[in-house]
Structure 1
Amino acid sequence: MKPPSLLVIVLNYRTAEMTLRAAEAALADLPAQDVARAELVIVDNDSGDGSAALLEQAIAQRGWGAGHRVRLIRASRNGGFGAGNNIAMRAGMSDGSAPDFVHVVNSDAFLDPGCISALLSHLQANPQAGIVGSHVRGEDDLPHTTAFRFPTIAGEFEGAARLGPVTRLLKSHVVAPPLPSQAAQVDWVAGASVMLRGEMLREIGLFDEGYFLYFEETDLCLRAARAGWHCWYLPQARCVHVGSVSTGMKDWQRMPRYWFDSRHRYFAKNHGRAYALLALLARLSGTGLHHLRCLLTKRRPEEAPGFARDLLAHALTRKRHRPHTTTTRRPATEDHS
């Protein structure tokens, strides 16, 4: 069997120094054997802060560009997480060929030794596996929940209610169940460190660029599942993830509109408008139950300030349009929408 080609992608948005750290960890973990070719692409997602020049200089100074081992691609606009990664996937390998496997690595994710080889070996050993995600932990060594069930109406109610009896009743719909301790098939995995099979991408298409940020991994995994591909969580493939560096999520006082846009798009596109409306009502009902409990127990709600109000306002004010569909596009040439 011919050894596969591997493309590692690190997407940068105004985090140049951290991106270089992530790229360095990924380069150190590139397998020396079992692959015909392994390359890394850094995409600067139109940072506009001098990041691209800094990255270009660092690549040259460190000698990373030799043999096309590392390339920098400058996006002409910031289309979001999916659009930025799609640029690299469409560009493909340095010779223009489509990669057999693509490893998406966040700019604030640092791979442990052996992470890439473990992910690659798992996909090679399981022909129906199209997606495999890493075990992700924080700098405090605590695990991050990165393996999930697909969102449903029942899951929306359970997640918002945050009530023991409700969770027990709807346990099969909990979106974020306890992490498996061994390799396991799951519905979807987070994109901090996830490897994708090129054959699958050529069949189902790349990330849907209608999502600016959030739900794009969920959407991709659902399309893969509907096409018969499996998604796995692999705990032995490990990495450290700082989290929310480029988005500034840790400092958010309110959820941004693009989160609500992405949530609605996911439900309406994949399940229809009626389902999206029921999911909205379930989320609002669960949130109301949670607030009632907090009022009676004199506790503070566990959600972002003004979340329910913002969710309802978004539903009432968003533009009415038919959800886009994602077409299959071959990652062969460098372009972007």
Structure 2
Amino acid sequence: MTEHCDRPRSARANVIVVMYNSESTLPALFDGMVANRAGIASVTLVDNASADESAETARKLLAESGLRGRVLRAANTGFAGGHWEARDSFDDPTLPTLCLNPDVQLDADALLDMIEVLQGLGEEAGIVTSTLVSTEGIEDSASRRRLPTVTTGALYSILGKLVPSKFRYNQIESTAGGELVAGHAITRVEATTGALMLVAPQLQNVEEGIFDRDYFMYGEDLQLCLRAQRSNRAVAIVERRPSIHVKGVSSGFPRSWKSNRAFHDAMYIYYRKNLSISPIDRALVWSAVWARLLISSSVAATARARAKRAR
């Protein structure tokens, strides 16, 4: 792999990290950012009213890292809202923005590879991500998704994981990364995850920020990918050594009621904004989503109770 000193110093991006009770994952986050310092112009960490020491820990680690940046405190208006809080925090807003979850540890030089691909896409530049896996080495299925259609969106909203995998919009696409852009193998997908998302300046709305704030903590990444598609801009994965994504820190595992509610709200919001054709289908999908929410919340509560008894 090319060393940092061989990369053009103009290849930089701003980084936004939105935190919520993220203290435990911040050391690994900063390890990853330090390993990518050559690609980072500035970092803004937004603390969404955490109950732990996320903001204080972030300030300490930021000072130790030598990275240029700041920590902002904000009311918890969600993932999209946190990114909106950071909208005016960068000296050069014309740079691409890396939306980075606090529970992601970037592999060394992953950001520079992503920037090179984004630049190599030219007028197609939209969103670039990189291979992302769990701590067990399992690829994050949200990295490679199709955008929901009326059929797949409605089916998944109603039946969830009971839907056969070939009919799920969030099923991993099987196409291999055969296309070369700026010397990197890439796979084009319809949608990817907001946990690791390099966004071209052309997709950043000055008034509203990067993500649609009608969403709280799910769905905004799909909405942005749809905006990229409608703008004839690419969504691509750089096929390279993976970065690590530790899921469930902010949302809980199983999901807390608040997180689960936001997840199901996002299903309906996306359907209403992009797929609905009449008030009747909206009412049916809304009812089905709420029924699914109640069932999944009951299952999650039972799982948490069992885990608590097992301790």
Q: Aligned runs of 1:315-326 on 2, under 5 Å?
A: none
Residue 19 of structure 2: aligned partner: 12
CA contact (8 A) 1:268 1:275 kept: no
Residue 228 of structure 1: aligned partner: 232
Offset at residue 229 of structure 1 (A): 1.4
Offset at residue 124 of structure 1 (A): 0.7
Offset at residue 251 of structure 1 (A): 5.1
C-alpha separation between the residues in 2 aligned to 1:118 and 1:211?
Answer: 30
Residue 85 of structure 1: aligned partner: 83
Deviates more, 1:96-105 or 1:47-56: 47-56
How much identity, in percent, do the aligned residues show? Answer: 24
Residue 308 of structure 2: aligned partner: none
- Provide TM-score, normalisation by structure 2: 0.76
C-alpha separation between the residues in 2 aligned to 1:283 and 1:108?
Answer: 33
C-alpha separation between the residues in 1 aligned to 2:162 and 2:153?
Answer: 13
C-alpha separation between the residues in 1 aligned to 2:222 and 2:293?
Answer: 22
1:57 is paired with a residue of what secondary structure? helix
Does structure 1 residue 306 correspond to structure 2 residue 301? no
Residue 274 of structure 1: aligned partner: 278
Residue 193 of structure 1: aligned partner: 196
Distance change in 2, residues 1:254/1:205 (3 Å): closer
Offset at residue 181 of structure 1 (A): 3.2
Residue 170 of structure 2: aligned partner: 175
Residue of structure 1 aligned with 2:66, choices 64, 68, 83? 64
Does structure 1 residue 152 correspond to structure 2 residue 149? yes
1:90 is paired with a residue of what secondary structure? coil
Residue 131 of structure 1: aligned partner: 127
Offset at residue 309 of structure 1 (A): 9.7
Residue 214 of structure 2: aligned partner: 210
CA RMSD of aligned residues (A): 3.4
1:249 is paired with a residue of what secondary structure? coil
Offset at residue 100 of structure 1 (A): 1.3
CA contact (8 A) 2:131 2:240 kept: yes
C-alpha separation between the residues in 2 aligned to 1:279 and 1:82?
Answer: 26
Distance change in 2, residues 1:52/1:219 (3 Å): same
Residue 307 of structure 2: aligned partner: none
Residue 47 of structure 1: aligned partner: 50
1:265 is paired with a residue of what secondary structure? helix
Where does the alignment leave 5 or more consecutive residues of structure 1 unmatched?
289-302, 311-337
Counterpart of 1:107 in structure 2: which amino acid? P
Q: Aligned runs of 1:30-45 on 2, under 5 Å?
A: 30-31=37-38, 38-45=41-48
CA contact (8 A) 2:26 2:57 kept: no
Offset at residue 237 of structure 1 (A): 5.8
Counterpart of 1:71 in structure 2: which amino acid? R
Per-residue CA distance 1:173-214 (angstroms, 9 max, x = gap):
743133443122211101121111112214895201111111
Residue of structure 2 aligned with 1:250, choices 229, 234, 254? 254
Counterpart of 2:76 in structure 1: which amino acid? N
Residue 27 of structure 1: aligned partner: 34
- Provide TM-score, normalisation by structure 1: 0.71
Offset at residue 48 of structure 1 (A): 3.9
CA contact (8 A) 2:147 2:191 kept: yes
Counterpart of 1:25 in structure 2: which amino acid? G
CA contact (8 A) 2:13 2:42 kept: yes
C-alpha separation between the residues in 2 aligned to 1:137 and 1:186?
Answer: 17
